[in-house]
Amino acid sequence: MAGFGNAPPLLPVLNLTEVAAMKPFVAIGARECTDPREAERGILQEFLDPQAKRFLECFGNALPKLSPAEIAWGYQAMLGVTILYVADGTRITRISGGAARAGDAKSATAPLVNFCTGGWLALWEAGKRRGRKKPSAARATSGRRTTGKRTDSRNRR
């Protein structure tokens, strides 16, 4: 990948912060996600929402006992963890007394992945206790290929 050194093309967001050429891009993305006026520009809607919707669809298929709202909130929580990691300049270092260092993707990845995984597992367990047997009819057909074309809104413009 030209301009990105030896970085593999599909790095997790945390690792992208360690690639000098990607730092500004990741920081702008985090800033855009937290800007109350982002909807006016439509950048996230155009460039990231299609991937987010695909993620929600995949997690919905993988975790059928969860409601679409639970999937969306789980995604939002995971995104919040990621954005705060990217945006944190020094706070985690300061409040941890140096035990955790801002910008240290290598040491942050395992705890943050474990934390997010624990959140998804907690949602899954709650869904099992509710006894939700199958996904809603809307989710069951969303994005499935029946005639070679997608049935969801991603191809509409």
pLDDT recorded at residue 131 = 75
pLDDT recorded at residue 5 = 46
Q: Which of 28, 5, 29 is closest to 18 using CA atoms?
A: 5
pLDDT recorded at residue 10 = 36
Q: Which residues contact 155 (CB under 8 A, 6 or more apart)?
A: 149
Q: Which residue shows structure tokens 């993707």?
A: 105
Pick the CATH number of 13-144 from 1.10.10.10, 1.10.357.10, 1.20.1740.10, 3.40.50.170: 1.10.357.10
In angstroms, rounded to a whole number, what is the distance separating the alpha carbons of residues 136 and 134? 7
Q: Which residue shows structure tokens 């030896």?
A: 6
Return the ∠ at Cα 37 (arms to 12 and 74), rounded to 5°: 40
pLDDT recorded at residue 8 = 33
- Is 138 in a helix, a strand, or coil? helix
pLDDT recorded at residue 134 = 53
Average pLDDT of adjacent 10-residue blocks, the chain of 157 residues: 38 80 88 93 92 93 94 94 91 97 91 92 91 54 44 43
pLDDT recorded at residue 137 = 47
* pTM flag (> 0.85): no
